[in-house]
Amino acid sequence: MLAPLKNLLGNVTMYVALQKALGSDRLRYRCLAELDLHDGDTVIDVGCGPAYYFDRLPAVTYFGFDTSERYIAHASARYGSPRATFSTEIFGERHLGVLPPANAVLLLGLLHHLSDEDSRSLLRVASQALAPGGRVIAVDTCYAPGQGRVSKWMSDNDRGEHVREPAAFEALARESFADVSGEVVDDAIRVPSSFWLMRMATPLHVAAA
């Protein structure tokens, strides 16, 4: 039933309009506010999509990654060089040492699209990409205790094939980070929905040093 709508989300204009109509943009703005970024910080945004929230960022050094050519073409045309660099690549180990250490890594609406194995790999690389004191923030559709019927229906029908309970997201993060905290957000958008907002810091390779 939702297949036609999901297909439309490949259209940048429709995707951004739907995000704002539902209020999903406010959830992303909340994540940015949590990071308290400053001019001169370096940000790596994995799964950036069309990066419609870019203007909310201070004067950072920004690297956006997404596998959608449509999204990256839109973001590059609107926000690209010299303000930002966008790539249609999968962010991975080959980028370590090439990009400057990041004060923040954004994983906004991404992990619930990835398998456990791919999530582990990404979180490990994200931990290695951080500058001292850097942080990773993620937000994902989740299954939450006491979730209402409409909210659960939204989770069941999300485009992501790996919607998890909060504990499952947290367990994956704790394989790479010593400091992990999070909360269920169920009042962010205009349709009853549950999201897991997760903060990660202190990579284990640093904590063990």
The verdict on residue 185 lying in a domain is yes
Task: Report, as ranges of residue numbers, the positions in the chain whose pLDDT lies below 70.
Answer: 1-10, 209
Let me know if residue 3 belongs to a domain: no
Instruction: Give the per-residue pLDDT at 9.
Output: 58
Q: From CA 5, how far away is CA 11, in angstroms rounded?
A: 10
Structure tokens at 89: 């690549």
- Sheet with 61-65, side-by-side order of all strands: 84-87, 61-65, 42-46, 102-108, 130-141, 195-203, 177-185
Residue 8 lies in a domain: no
Residue 126: inside a domain: yes
pTM of the model: 0.92
* Count of the separate structural domains present in the chain: 1
Task: Determine, yes or no, domain membership for 209.
Answer: no
3-state class (DSSP) for residue 12: helix
- Residue-range definition of the domain harbouring residue 86: 14-203
pLDDT in tens, 60-118: 999 999 999 999 999 999 999 888 999 999 999 999 999 999 999 999 999 999 999 99
Residue 3 has a pLDDT of: 47
Q: What is the CATH number of the domain that holds 61?
A: 3.40.50.150
